[in-house]
Chains A and B, each alone.
Chain A
Amino acid sequence: MIPTHYEFNNPVKIISGSKAVDNLPFELEQLGVSRPLIITDQGVAGAGLLSIVKNACSDSNISIGAVYDQTPPDSSLSTVKQIAGLYRKTQCDSFVAVGGGSAIDTAKGVNLIISENSDDLSQFAGAQIIKTPAKPLIVIPTTSGTGSEVTMVAVISDTDRNLKMAFTSHHLLPNVAILDPRMTLTLPASMTAATGMDALSHAMEAFISLQKNPISDAFCLSAIKLIGKTLPLAVKNGKDPDIRLTMANAATMAGIAFSNAMVGVVHGLGHAAGAVCHIPHGVAMSIFLPFGLEYNIAKEEKRIGRMLLSLAGESIYLNIPENKRAAGTVKAVRALQKTLYEHCGLPYTLKQAGATRDKLDQIAQKTMDDGALGFNPEAVELDDALMLLNRAYE
C-alpha cells in the first residue's frame, strides 16, 4: 500500500570504483572550492588511508587547508567546536570526511555550526530546523556500515550528559560520496562484521518502519540481498576489492533507505547501549537486530517474512511455509550472527559485549528518549525495552 503522504530525498552524487578517490579534485572543483579541511581519525590515518587522499590531490588545483585526525569514537560536541575553530583559522572553504560514521558525522556537525555561524551545536538539535545551506562536503567512507555518506542524519555524543544527540536536516546531506575499495581493505574483520550488521539493520528496520515508502523499499531489499551474500565473504576475505566495493555499495543503499524511512527499536536500544556502556554502534546493532525483528512480528509479519527472500535466497524462502517466514528471517539473522561470531568473535549478547546487568535499567530509560522509537511499528514502553534488554543480555 502506498502511504497517504511521503517524501524522499537523495541528492548525493555517488561515485563508485576501484580508483574513485582520484576523482576528488575534480569533484571539489565542480563544487567551486579549492581548500578543503580533511576530517579523519587516528585509526584511519594509522592505516595509511590519508596518503591515498593526499596523493589524489597532488598535482591538482586543490590545496588541503588542514587535516584534523583526532576525531574520537562517536564524536563529541567539544570536538566539533574545536574543529570549527581550526576551519576558521586555516581559512578552508569545504570539508572532506575520511573515515567511518564517527569522522563523517563530526564533519556534518562542524559544517552545521560553520554555516550557521555559531559555536554551539546543541542548539540545533531537532529535526528539519536548519535553514542555511551548508558548505560543500565530500565523504569518503572507510567502513561499510553507517551509510552516513548519504544520510541527512548526524549522531554526535554529548559526553557531559552521557547521551547521543541526533540532528536531522536536508542540509546535512553531503554533496558527493566516494566509494573506493582501497579505503576499506584495511578494515579489520571484527569491524567489518560489526559495521556490516549496522548496514543490515538499517535496511531491515527501514523496511518495516512507519515511514517506509515504495522507493525506500527498493533500496532496502537490494541492500539486504547484497549484504546477505557478501558480508560473510568480506569478513573471511577482506583483501578482495570486489567484495569490499560490493559491501560499500550495499551500505550506501541501506543508508539511502533509512535516511528516508528512518529506523526503529533496534537503533533506539543501540544508541542507548552505546551511550551508557560504550558498546560500539555496529556491535549493538548486531546484538539487537534479531530481537527487534521478533518484537515487531505481530505488526509486520508479512514484511519481515519477505526479507527472508532477499537475505537467504530463493531456495530457503520457498522451502518455508508463508506463516513461518517471519520467524525464518529472524533465524537467518541469527545464523549470520553465528557465522560472524565464529570468524571474528563478533559478540551476540550484551554480556559478551561487556555490559553488566545493573546497567540495563539505565539503558532502558535512555531508550525511551530516542526518536527512533516513534518510527517502530510496535509500541515500545519502558517495560518492553527492559524485556528486550534482558533477552539480549545472555
Chain B
Amino acid sequence: MHMILKKRIKKIVIKIVVICRGRALQSAAKSDPQVMGELRRWDKSLIILMQVLPKGPGMILSKQGRELRYLGSTQKQADLVINFKNIECAFPVMAGFMSAETGFAQNRMTVKGDIPLAMSLIRCINRILTFLFPGFISRRILKRVAPFTLKEQIIRLKILTLGIPFGH
C-alpha cells in the first residue's frame, strides 16, 4: 500500500513538473535566442513525445512553423519519442534532479527517431532547467552553466511570471 501510494505521488509530481517545463519551453521558444536557434534547425512541423512507460504520464511538444506548443499528453503518433522504462527510471529526470544526459547514461530511457533532433532537444531542456532552478542547483545537475547576462535574467523573469502560469 505504502509503495503504491509513493508511486502515485511520484506520478503527480511528474505531471506537475511536466506542465511547468512544457510551458517554460513554449515560452523560451519565443524569447530565448539559444532555444530559438535550436528550433530553427528542426523540421518545420513535428511532434515530440516524452513519456513514462507503460501508461504515462507524458509530455507532447508540437512545432508548427516557428512556434513550439506544449500539448499536454494525449497524442499517440510522434516524430521523436523518448520513452522512460518505468516511473522509477523517469522520476529523477522528469522531476529535474538529473540531467537527460545522465538519464541516458543510466539506460533509463530509449529514443525513437532522429538522434540529432534528440541532441538538440536535450540542449533545449538543459537550457530550461537553468531558467527554472537557481544556479546552485542547476550547476549540480548540468555539466556547465554559464552565469546569466542581464538580458537572460529578463527572459527568465518572463518565463517564470508569464510563461509558466499563463502559457505565454
Q: Which residues of A contact B (CB under 8 A)?
A: 3-7, 125-129, 163, 165-166, 209-211, 262, 299, 368-371, 373-375, 377-379, 381
Question: How long is the Cα–Cα vector from A374 to B122 in the complex, in angstroms?
Answer: 9
Please tell me if the beta carbons of A127 and B102 are within 8 angstroms of each other in the complex: no
- Choose one: A5, A369, A370, A381; the contact of B106 (CB below 8 Å): A5
Contact A210 B105, CB 8 Å, known A126-B112, A127-B110, A128-B110? yes
Given A375-B101, A378-B144, decide whether A125 and B106 contact each other with a Cβ distance below 8 A: no
- A373 & B105 in contact (Cβ 8 Å cutoff): no
Asked if B74 is at the interface of the complex by the 8 Å CB criterion, the answer is no
Contact B118 A7 (CB under 8 A): no
- Using known A-B contacts A128-B110, A129-B110, A379-B142, determine if residue A210 contacts B102 with beta carbons closer than 8 Å: yes
Also in contact, A368 and B119, with CB within 8 A (given A262-B105, A378-B144): yes
Main secondary structure of the interface of A (DSSP, over half): loop
Cβ of B107 under 8 Å from chain A: yes
CB distance B113 to A126 under 8 Å?
yes
Pairs across A and B, CB under 8 Å, 11 listed: A3-B106, A6-B106, A7-B107, A126-B113, A209-B105, A211-B104, A211-B105, A369-B116, A369-B119, A370-B116, A371-B118
Bound-complex Cα distance A374 to B108 (A): 14
Q: Looking at the complex, which one of B112, B115, B142 makes contact with A371 (CB distance below 8 Å)?
A: B115
For A299, the chain B residues whose CB sits under 8 A away are 143
Residues of B within 8 A of A128 (CB): 110-111
Besides A127-B110, A129-B110, A129-B111, 11 other A-B contacts (C-beta < 8 A): A126-B118, A210-B101, A210-B105, A211-B106, A368-B116, A368-B120, A369-B115, A370-B119, A371-B118, A374-B122, A375-B101
A379 to B100, CA, bound (A): 13
| Beta-carbon contact of B106 and A374 below 8 Å | no
Chain B 80-110: CB-based contact to A (< 8 A → 1; otherwise 0): 0000000001000000000011101111101
Bin the interface of chain B by size: 20 to 34
- CA–CA, A229 and B153, complex, Å: 54
Known: A126-B115, A377-B143. A4 touches B106 (CB 8 A): yes
Kindly report which residue of chain B lies nearest to residue A299, judged by CB atoms.
Answer: B143
Given contacts A374-B101, A378-B143, contact A5 B116 (CB under 8 A): no
Residues of chain A lying within 8 A (CB to CB) of residue B113: 125-126
For residue B88, which residue of chain A has the nearest CB?
A: A5
Separation of A165 and B111 alpha carbons in the complex (Å): 14
B148 → chain A, closest Cβ, in Å? 16
Give CA–CA (A381, B107) in the complex, Å.
23
Pick the contact of B105: A163, A370, A374, A381 (CB < 8 A).
Answer: A374
A373 to B144 Cα, complex, angstroms:
13
Using Cβ atoms and an 8 Å threshold, which residues of chain A touch B142? 379
Nearest 7 pairs of A and B residues by beta carbon: A369-B116, A379-B144, A379-B143, A210-B105, A211-B105, A128-B110, A129-B112
Residues in B with CB closer than 8 Å to A374 are 100-101, 104-105, 119, 122
Tell me the bound Cα distance from A379 to B102 in angstroms: 12
- Docked CA distance A209–B89 (Å): 20
In the assembled complex, the CB of B116 is this many whole angstroms from the nearest CB of chain A, namely: 3
Task: Please give, as numbers and ranges, the residues of chain A lying within 8 Å of B112 by CB-CB distance.
Answer: 126, 129
Q: Mark B135-158, 1 if CB is under 8 A from A, else 0.
A: 000000011100000000000000
Q: Which of chain A's residues has its CB closest to B101's CB?
A: A374
A381 CA to B106 CA, complexed, in Å: 22
Closest A residue by C-beta to B92: A4
Residue of B105, B111, B144 with most partner-chain A CB within 10 A:
B105
Nearest chain A residue, comparing its CB with the CB of B85: A128
Instruction: List, in ascending order, chain B residues with CB within 8 A of A4's CB.
Output: 106
